[in-house]
Amino acid sequence: MAGEYDCVIVGARCAGAPLATFLARDGARVLLIDASAMPRDQPISTHFIQPYGMTIIDELGIGARVREIAPVVSLFANGCEDAIARIRWPEGRGGCCPRRIDLDPLLVETAREAGAEVRLRCRAVGLVRDGERVTGVVVDERGTRREISAGVVVGADGRNSTIAELVGAEEYLGYDSPRCAYWGYWPRPSWYSSDARYQGGAFIVYRGDDYWFSFPTNRDQLLLGVAFPLAHGTAEWRADPRTTLERRLASYAMPAPLIEGSAPLGKVVGIINARFFFRRAAGPGWALVGDAGLFKDPTAGLGISDALRDARSLARAIRTGGDSALERYWRQRDVESIELYYFTRALGDLDYNNPLNQMVFGKMAANPALQAQVRRVVEREIGPFDAIRPRDVIPWTLGALLRGRFGVLPPFFAAARRASLARRELRHRKRLLVRQLTAARADA
């Protein structure tokens, strides 16, 4: 590659820093920049690194340190109303929820130790081009601007990516979230692990139009919050987020004991008017990774794990070299993400808490085989629409209809349509990948 660096990465968090580590370990000349200083918290994050993502954290060589920061979460409780399924992972195979104020600096330190050059408080403000090709980046470092040449410029700078805007990366399959959410941190009760209701795990439970969530995080803390329809209004939340969140948490039996007699640690934060999307993730001399190229509903907690996955994949493409390898990375990312994207959209829908899902969660709670299927989804062994198969759901639905529970029928057809759309889009993305591979072989 030509240029002062083989790769300049803009954004030094869950996608950019691991990408820098993978590349630097292979001897690439890497510059990693970030507009902020470290350590700095990133509160708009579930913090959850799923077991799949922890495997990549282990590849980076920091698994033990992450597990020291945050407890291993081996149990995940999920359900609608009183139908709650508890999915448990084998000993040592759980996920972790480290706060970003600790995780992000650790990732940056790892990149630096691998040989990447790191510059913080260094902001990308423009691109250097040779015709249509990106050949470098213009940075502002403490008021001084300079051009830096690179073989590849990568935007790992989040959902409001400067690099995505500068290259004009088009969006597709985008939609606006119908929900907003507020959350904060509370001290984790000493009995949290031994109490049968929680067992030290994480939970997301739908009740009415809302859902409540809890993730054990570091420094003996719990992230606690609630998501609710945007149409219900946010004026009360904006005026006094702490009091409003405390009142909402206290109104439901699952989180209420967790805040009793304690106060939130730091500010309560929220996300309003979120938009979820895919963006074109590669072009001549540039690529996007992490939330810069794909931002999906955070309910399932997939973001960090997917950022790690795509950082590893993009590193391979950059090592291979050429625009064709970058496009292949983009197309493969879409194939690996499409079904999960549709799945997370379903989780965020306002009608997710419906009679069909209540029935399915009830069946799952009593069936270890179904729980094992959910684990396979989380481990990326099967797609989310393969976990609960039609041959299972159809008899359950017919049985419910025979008992006069006709409310299962509309969500049954809606779920079938959603699965069909996801699979059709997956076939389309696979065709695009095959077309790219065919063109690359023809050019070789």
SS (H, E, C) 399-439: HHHHCCCHHHHHHHHHHHHHHHHHHHHHHHHHHHHHHHHHH
pLDDT value, residue 442: 84
Question: The tokens of 131 are what?
Answer: 């015709």
Q: What is the DSSP letter of 115?
A: T
Tell me the residue ranges of DSSP E strands in 235-335. 269-271, 275-279, 282-283, 286-288, 294-295
What span, in angstroms and rounded, lies between the C-alpha atoms of 368 and 141?
A: 55
pLDDT value, residue 43: 67
Can you list the residues of the chain whose pLDDT is less than 50?
1-2
CB of 418 closer than 8 Å to CB of 334: no
Q: Can you give the pTM of this predicted structure?
A: 0.95
Fold of 179-271: D-Amino Acid Oxidase; Chain A, domain 2 (3.30.9)
Q: Residue 166, SS3?
A: helix
pLDDT value, residue 3: 62
Positive or negative CA dihedral for 348, 351, 353, 359? Answer: negative
CB of 45 closer than 8 Å to CB of 70: no
pLDDT value, residue 46: 74
Q: So where are the chain's domains?
A: 179-271
pLDDT value, residue 1: 42
CB of 24 closer than 8 Å to CB of 40: no
pLDDT value, residue 441: 85
